[in-house]
A = this chain, B = another copy of it.
Amino acid sequence: MSLLVVGSIAFDSIHTPTEVRENILGGSSVHFSYAASFFSGVRMVGVVGEDWQEEHTQLLTERGIDTSGIEIEEGGKTFRWTGKYHSNMNDRDTLEVHLNVLETFNPTLSEESSRCPFVFLANGSPTTQLKVLDQMTGPRLVVADTMDLWIEIERDQLKTLLSRIDGLVLNDSEAKQLTEEENLVRAGQKVLEMGPKFIILKKGEHGAMFFSKNETYVMPAFPTPDVVDPTGAGDSFAGGMMGYLAQQNNFDPKTLKEAMAYGTVVASLIVEDFSLDRLKGTNREEIDGRFNQYRQMLTF
C-alpha cells in the first residue's frame, strides 16, 4: 500500500437547516481514506477511544483500508465535533469540540507506514504533522492540510512544515488569513512562496484553485442539487486526489490536474448524504461516469 494518511477520527454531530444527526462517523482521515479507497489502498494512522465499535473498523476494512495504525486508547473517548450549517450550506459554526483522545495523540508509525511513498498529513497541529514527517523514510510526495486555528496559534511550526512538504491544501479564508491578501490568486501565489511546490485552495461550493510555479488554474465544483451535509467534502476531495495520484504512481502536472478533477467528483458525491452514506453506495464506475460528465461540462 503506497498511501498513508494521519489525521483525526471522529464522531460528529451535524445540524443542517432541516435535520440533526448525532455521533455519526467522521474525521479527516476517515473521509480521506474512504474517498481514496476507490483508487488505491490506504493506511490509516489515528487514535480512537473505547467507544469505537468493531463495525466502524469493518466499514473501513471492507473498502480495503489498512486500519492497523488505528490505536484504541483504553479508558479514552473518541474525538467529538458538533457543527451547525447556515442556510447556504457553505458556512458553518462549530458548536462543540471535545478533543478527548486526540489531545495527547502522538502518532508512532509502523515500519510499513513509514515507508509509504504518498503521504497526506490531514488537518492537525503542525507540531504533530512534523513529528509524522520525521518518521517517514524518503516519501515521494507529502501533502498537508491545515486550518485557521494553527495559523493563529502555531504559525512558526506551520512555516517550518511548509518548507518541508510538497503540497498544501487549505480553505480560501485560511489562505487569506495566512497571507493577509484578499485576492485569492495573490493569496495562493503568496502561500506558494512559503515553500510548497503546489497549493490547492478550496472554495467550498465554488470549487478549488491550483497554484504551482508554472500553473494557476481553477476547477469549479461539480454542480449537485442534492447538498445534504457538506462535512468531509474537503477531506474527501483530498482523498480522491491523493488516491488517484497513488494509483497512477505519478504526480506530474497532467496527472495532478486529473487528480484534482477526481477529488472534485468524489467531494460532490459525499455531500449528497450524511457521513459516508453516499460513498457507501457508490463505486468506481459511478465516479468515472461523473468524472466524464465533469470533463464534458468543461469542454467547449
Contact = CB atoms under 8 A, between A and B. Distances in A.
Interface in A176-227: 182-186, 189, 203, 205-207, 209, 216-221, 223-225, 227
A212 to B, nearest CB: 13
A227 to B, nearest CB: 6
Interface in A1-46: 17
Nearest to A211: B223
A220 B205 contact: no
Interface in A245-300: 254, 257-258, 260-261, 295, 297-300
A89 interface: yes
Assembly of this chain: how many copies? 2
Given A206-B203, A209-B223, A218 B185 contact: no
B295 A183 contact: no
B227 A183 contact: yes
Question: What are the nearest 6 A-B pairs in CB distance?
Answer: A218-B220, A206-B206, A185-B225, A298-B298, A257-B300, A217-B297
Interface of A: 17, 87-89, 182-186, 189, 203, 205-207, 209, 216-221, 223-225, 227, 254, 257-258, 260-261, 295, 297-300
